[in-house]
């Protein structure tokens, strides 16, 4: 199984030192890879968000996408480093866009935008989620059904929290727009268009019609 | 000191196995890259 050298080495060290069974090596390497890539991705996103002055917005986008994607899945890049670049650029960009958008949006337009984003995303989640990947297939129908339900529950919770925050004026519209962007992205990556986009990002030659 | 270190490593291994199980139960953990889930955790 293909894991990066550092995760395999750390897993090997842990197995040796703790006398754990050798069949746990793959599991440990997998967990180490998940922790390290998420740490790098989230850290880089927050750092760039901080530099751009949109740290809270970036954090809200990250949280929203995390809460839905964990159950709904979606398109993936086949390179860990390309994924890190996409994540590090995407979430601060969402924060920045929300920062500019709420300055020009009237409150009513912002509310309508947030409402429409939730409605469209809920439909996409209902019809498409969960989307698995070849590296993490969803084999059982029961698990597939459970993940769909949980993704819809998660979306419902985010919608409720957004409504409560909006009605009680707890925070600025900027952060609510960030939630909307997060919701839109989480549902967009379920679509065939997003899968095509990731394929093109993984292999830019596809854009010129040269399949490699 | 050594005993505590090995106990700590044991805790780290248990935590990593737990995280891998939780992660494999979800559709994906977060990022736009998905490492290969070990066969023993696929369900």
Percent of chain A surpassing pLDDT 70:
97
Interface of A with B in 82-141 (CB under 8 A): 82-84, 86-87, 129-133, 135-140
- Say what the pLDDT of residue B30 is: 66
Share of chain A above pLDDT 90, in %: 50
Backbone angles phi, psi at A19, to 5 degrees: 55, 30
Query: Which residue, among B40, B17, B28, B41, has the nearest Cα to A190 in the 3D structure?
Result: B28
pLDDT at A212: 46
Residues of chain B with C-beta less than 8 angstroms from the C-beta of A86: 32
Please provide residue A210's backbone torsions phi and psi, each rounded to the nearest 5 degrees. -100, 95
Residues pairing with A131 in the sheet: A73
Is residue A28 within 8 A of residue B35, CB to CB? The reply is no
What ipTM, to 2 d.p.? 0.88
On chain A, the residues whose CB falls within 8 A of the CB of B3 are none
Q: How confident is the model at residue B35 (pLDDT cuts 50, 70, 90)?
A: confident
Select the more confidently predicted residue: A210 or B41: B41
Average pLDDT over residues A84-113: 88
* Best CA proximity match to A132, nearest among A122, A144, A118: A144
Quote the pLDDT of residue A159.
96
């Amino acid at each position: 199984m293909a894991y990066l050298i550092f995760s395999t080495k750390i897993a090997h060290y842990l197995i040796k030192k703790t006398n754990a069974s050798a069949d746990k090596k793959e599991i440990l390497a997998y967990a180490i890879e998940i922790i390290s890539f998420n740490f790098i991705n989230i850290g880089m996103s927050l750092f760039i968000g901080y530099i751009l002055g949109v740290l809270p917005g970036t954090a809200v986008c990250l949280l929203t996408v995390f809460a839905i994607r964990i159950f709904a899945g979606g398109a993936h890049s086949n390179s860990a480093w390309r994924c890190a670049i996409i994540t590090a650029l995407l979430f601060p960009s969402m924060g920045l866009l929300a920062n500019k958008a709420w300055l020009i949006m009237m409150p009513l337009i912002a509310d309508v935008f947030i409402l429409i984003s939730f409605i469209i995303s809920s439909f996409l989640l209902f019809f498409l989620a969960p989307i698995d990947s070849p590296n993490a297939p969803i084999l059982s129908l029961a698990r597939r059904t459970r993940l769909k339900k949980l993704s819809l529950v998660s979306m419902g919770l985010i919608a409720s929290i957004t409504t409560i925050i909006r009605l009680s004026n707890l925070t600025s519209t900027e952060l609510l727009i960030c939630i909307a962007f997060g919701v839109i992205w989480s549902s967009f990556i379920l679509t065939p268009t997003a899968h095509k986009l990731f394929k093109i990002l993984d292999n830019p030659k596809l854009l010129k019609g040269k399949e490699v | 000191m050594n005993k505590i270190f090995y106990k700590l490593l044991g805790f780290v291994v248990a935590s990593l196995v737990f995280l891998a199980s939780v992660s494999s139960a979800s559709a994906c953990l977060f990022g736009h890259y998905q490492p290969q889930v070990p066969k023993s955790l696929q369900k």
